[in-house]
Structure 1
Amino acid sequence: MQQFDVVVVGAGAAGLYGAGIAGQRGLRVLLLDHAERLAEKIRISGGGRCNFTNRDAGPANFLSENPHFCRSALARHRPADFIALLERDRIGWHEKHRGQLFCDESSEDIIRLLVRECESGGVVRRQPCGVQAVRAGRRGFELDTDAGPVATPQLVVATGGLSIPKIGASDWGLRLARQFGHRVVEPRPALVPLTFDAAEWAPYVPLAGVSLEVRAQAGEPGRKRRSEGEFLEDLLFTHRGLSGPAILQISSFWRPGEPITLDLAPGIDLGQALRSAKSGSRRQLVNELGQHLPARLADAWCAPLGAAAHRPMADLPDRTLLELANSLQRWRLTPSGSEGWRKAEVMAGGVDTRELSSQTMESQRQPGLHFIGEVVDVTGWLGGYNFQWAWSSAYACAQALRPAAAFA
């Protein structure tokens, strides 16, 4: 049976990064992954350019049933630390907006960087190589793998979440957590488009492809427990529902059966604007509304008014204008569901952090067992935050790992 100081299961962002750091600290590290291709989620992220972090990442940008858990790791390994690694290797990067950082060339630059870090630390990498069973004993763990049995005093689970199953998503880490008595916060798709009942959505199907900036909120406006789930971002109409950054953001806060609320004309008092434009105007309502919204959306919203939408503004009562404005700035609708794991960018939920050390990511139930990255109940906003959690949690864990001799 081969012996290692630490075995890392999962060669995604967190697993590669943590294995490399541990190896460079002098530990003998084995990195395993069941998938055919390495770090596929990094490869497809950011349109192929990997939104590898967010310059402004902090605890307020993450969701968890234990919201303070992420503070320690994020404080100890900040976006600037990962940026420094890229600059050391002369990997070009740029900021798009709202602190979102992308590679200039390709996501492959990040993958090659992480592989080089592992090679520098002498990490033994086996892929594809599945793990059939894990047993705990007096001296740590024994793993039955496709390449034979392995023993280690420290096991790091970095198997990610359930999103995008076609690239190898697995519930292996969640099952292992349960095996060792850990509570798992019910996983759900996050950063995912929302869908609506086909009959109810039929009037909006012709709007597929229309995009605009909106203010989106999960739940009722003003509800304190959802106040953090409000975003000013772009929205996209689709044939089945709504997508775009605004919807992906609030999807992490949304729960089935709850409404979402959209302001389709943020930043202005649309009712006041329409009333002001009415004075002596011969312009039609639909044309005036088109000054504030995409033309197709203005046409669709005015359609229920019939002929009134094409009458001069001056002929319309204030009440009609105010009702129309309110329907646009307080559009309340209830999704029937989401596009699910197939389209979700990340998993919300995961291993309950109340049973992990925020300093080391180690289990409080099973000594030597660690969980890092997406498998943990810490979910970032859209915009590079989830990669930052991968780097930060991996760093915190790797710094705490010890040689096998320390366990003798």
Structure 2
Amino acid sequence: MNFNTVILGAGAAGMMCAAHCGARVLVIDHAKAAGEKIRISGGGRCNFTNLNAGPGNFLSQNPHFSKSALARYTQWDFIDLVNRYGIEWHEKTLGQLFCNGSSKQIINMLLDKMERTRAELWLQTTLKNARKTEAGFALEVEREGRRVTLHCANLVLATGGKSIPKMGATGLAYDLAQQFGLKITETRAALVPFTFSDGRFKELSGVSLPVQLSNDQAIFDESMLFTHRGLSGPSVLQLSSYWREGEAIHVNLIPDLPLFNLLREQRKEGGRKALTTELARHMPARLVDYLSQKLLIAGNLADQSDASLSDLVANLSDWQLRPSGTEGYRTAEVTLGGIDTENLSSKTMEAKDVPGLFAIGEAVDVTGWLGGYNFQWAWSSGHAAGKAIADRI
């Protein structure tokens, strides 16, 4: 069977590419349904892009690589597509855009775009092997209990990374890339909760609060959630992409709160109150109880000197913790690293030394922040590859 283009992966990037790369396109996926990560994203409402999406929101060994694709298909282009399909949406915090209804609206939109370009979709299809030929590529796949050989001029790697293996994620894109001579940068779980081997935060599980979380590389002002295994929440997921095993993290529990002045004023007006009682006005009470044991917070406000209040504020502003690790790929939203961008054209996403081979989406060493950025990279990189293929027909 002959196709102009075979796309491996019916996720966000793969479907976006299929919608733009012209005639005789086949999309293959081993799953039962297309766009499964889209379906579960954003609590079922799909955080499909971010108003602030730009190169500065992405990690890569080459921080300039994403600029071309992001500039030629922006968040505004995707928003326009969503609007044309009548999908209602709303903005949450920090520029994050979500569907008012179901994330399935985004999947159905992409499937409709594929149908309009007559792209075929084979689900529950497994790739058995792939090889380069003079005319392009030959693929052997298993579908409905039988083996089929496919020939194509263009092969697009859009199978994502290793994150959430229970949904079928594998390192297939990396294996194929290496088979065809492309390099792979180190891969790690990213946008993932931190764990602590001693279970120190079990009694705080479910407590959340706004914090400023940082290490030597990055700083994020968002909420943090205590879990029975460690720490989660937006600020934690964000910082995890910049964290390495063994490193300490710094937690400011009172960002933008003039706590020292507040405590001094309260000391004048109600010095007989317990210090922990006053702290519980500004922080979750369960956390105050926990910290009172760890930081030896005790006594009435009247008992506290300016120096002791200053020390307390300093400790709350820079609570240093050293995670044991992360939850790993099991719960990671994305994979950091991947197919080395040195091997690819930033304009077309095509391998420089393997004509007709393209890599897009999460499979590539471009990883976005939490908040719709990774979907935008899927749209932008998928569009870049699709248009490059279409221009050759």
TM-score bin, normalised by smaller chain: over 0.9
Residue 124 of structure 1 and its aligned partner are, at CA, apart by 1.2
1:103 corresponds in structure 2 to 99
1:324 & 1:365 partners in 2: Cα distance? 59
Counting only pairs closer than 5 Å after superposition, residues 110-121 of structure 1 correspond to structure 2 as: 110-121=106-117
Give 5+ residue unaligned stretches, structure 1: 220-225
What's the secondary structure of 2:375's corresponding residue? helix
2:259 corresponds in structure 1 to 270
1:304 & 1:234 partners in 2: Cα distance? 22
2:228 corresponds in structure 1 to 239
1:343 & 1:46 partners in 2: Cα distance? 14
Seen in structure 2, the aligned counterparts of structure 1 residues 80 and 305 have a Cα distance that, compared at 3 Å, is closer
What's the secondary structure of 1:134's corresponding residue? strand
In the alignment, structure 1 residue 56 sits paired with structure 2 residue 34:
no
Contact residue 5 and residue 402 of structure 1 kept, 8 A: no
1:391 corresponds in structure 2 to 379
1:356 & 1:334 partners in 2: Cα distance? 37
Identity of aligned residues (%): 50
What's the secondary structure of 1:4's corresponding residue? strand
Residue 288 of structure 1 and its aligned partner are, at CA, apart by 1.4
2:168 counterpart letter in structure 1: G
1:129 & 1:302 partners in 2: Cα distance? 57
Contact residue 134 and residue 142 of structure 1 kept, 8 A: yes
Seen in structure 2, the aligned counterparts of structure 1 residues 127 and 304 have a Cα distance that, compared at 3 Å, is closer
Counting only pairs closer than 5 Å after superposition, residues 278-317 of structure 1 correspond to structure 2 as: 278-279=267-268, 281-304=271-294, 309=298, 311-317=299-305
1:123 & 1:5 partners in 2: Cα distance? 11
Residue 367 of structure 1 and its aligned partner are, at CA, apart by 1.0
Residue 126 of structure 1 and its aligned partner are, at CA, apart by 0.8
1:371 corresponds in structure 2 to 359
1:223 corresponds in structure 2 to none
1:170 counterpart letter in structure 2: T
2:40 corresponds in structure 1 to 44
Seen in structure 2, the aligned counterparts of structure 1 residues 28 and 332 have a Cα distance that, compared at 3 Å, is same
Residue 291 of structure 1 and its aligned partner are, at CA, apart by 2.0
1:305 & 1:143 partners in 2: Cα distance? 62
In the alignment, structure 1 residue 341 sits paired with structure 2 residue 329:
yes
1:97 & 1:333 partners in 2: Cα distance? 27
2:155 counterpart letter in structure 1: L
Seen in structure 2, the aligned counterparts of structure 1 residues 160 and 304 have a Cα distance that, compared at 3 Å, is closer
1:151 corresponds in structure 2 to 151
Runs of 4+ in 1 over 4 A off after TM superposition: none
What's the secondary structure of 1:262's corresponding residue? strand
2:187 corresponds in structure 1 to 187
Seen in structure 2, the aligned counterparts of structure 1 residues 94 and 329 have a Cα distance that, compared at 3 Å, is same
1:245 counterpart letter in structure 2: P
What's the secondary structure of 1:400's corresponding residue? helix
What's the secondary structure of 2:282's corresponding residue? coil
Q: 2:320 is matched with which residue: 328, 332, 339?
A: 332
Residue 197 of structure 1 and its aligned partner are, at CA, apart by 2.1
2:80 counterpart letter in structure 1: A
1:70 & 1:304 partners in 2: Cα distance? 45
What's the secondary structure of 1:122's corresponding residue? coil
In the alignment, structure 1 residue 350 sits paired with structure 2 residue 349:
no
Describe the superposition over 1:137-162 as per-residue Cα deviations: whole angstroms up to 9, x where unpaired: 21111111114111111111100111
Contact residue 5 and residue 403 of structure 1 kept, 8 A: no
Residue 322 of structure 1 and its aligned partner are, at CA, apart by 2.1
2:272 & 2:343 partners in 1: Cα distance? 67
1:209 corresponds in structure 2 to 206
2:259 & 2:318 partners in 1: Cα distance? 11
1:127 counterpart letter in structure 2: L
Residue 323 of structure 1 and its aligned partner are, at CA, apart by 2.1
What's the secondary structure of 1:386's corresponding residue? helix
1:120 & 1:388 partners in 2: Cα distance? 22
Residue 259 of structure 1 and its aligned partner are, at CA, apart by 1.0
- 321-330 or 342-351: bigger deviation: 321-330
2:267 counterpart letter in structure 1: K
2:228 & 2:364 partners in 1: Cα distance? 33
TM-score scaled to structure 2, two decimals? 0.95
1:174 & 1:283 partners in 2: Cα distance? 61
Contact residue 271 and residue 326 of structure 1 kept, 8 A: no
2:366 & 2:60 partners in 1: Cα distance? 5
Give 5+ residue unaligned stretches, structure 2: none
Seen in structure 2, the aligned counterparts of structure 1 residues 7 and 321 have a Cα distance that, compared at 3 Å, is same
1:273 & 1:112 partners in 2: Cα distance? 53
2:286 & 2:162 partners in 1: Cα distance? 37
1:206 & 1:317 partners in 2: Cα distance? 31
1:14 counterpart letter in structure 2: A
1:188 & 1:368 partners in 2: Cα distance? 28
Q: 1:137 is matched with which residue: 133, 137, 140?
A: 133
2:171 corresponds in structure 1 to 171
TM-score scaled to structure 1, two decimals? 0.92
2:169 & 2:368 partners in 1: Cα distance? 18
Seen in structure 2, the aligned counterparts of structure 1 residues 263 and 337 have a Cα distance that, compared at 3 Å, is same
1:102 & 1:382 partners in 2: Cα distance? 13
Alignment length (residue pairs):
388
Residue 275 of structure 1 and its aligned partner are, at CA, apart by 3.4
2:187 counterpart letter in structure 1: P
Describe the superposition over 1:179-215 as per-residue Cα deviations: whole angstroms up to 9, x where unpaired: 11111111111110000121xx43x321111110000
Contact residue 180 and residue 365 of structure 1 kept, 8 A: no
Residue 108 of structure 1 and its aligned partner are, at CA, apart by 0.6
What's the secondary structure of 2:93's corresponding residue? coil
1:403 & 1:75 partners in 2: Cα distance? 18
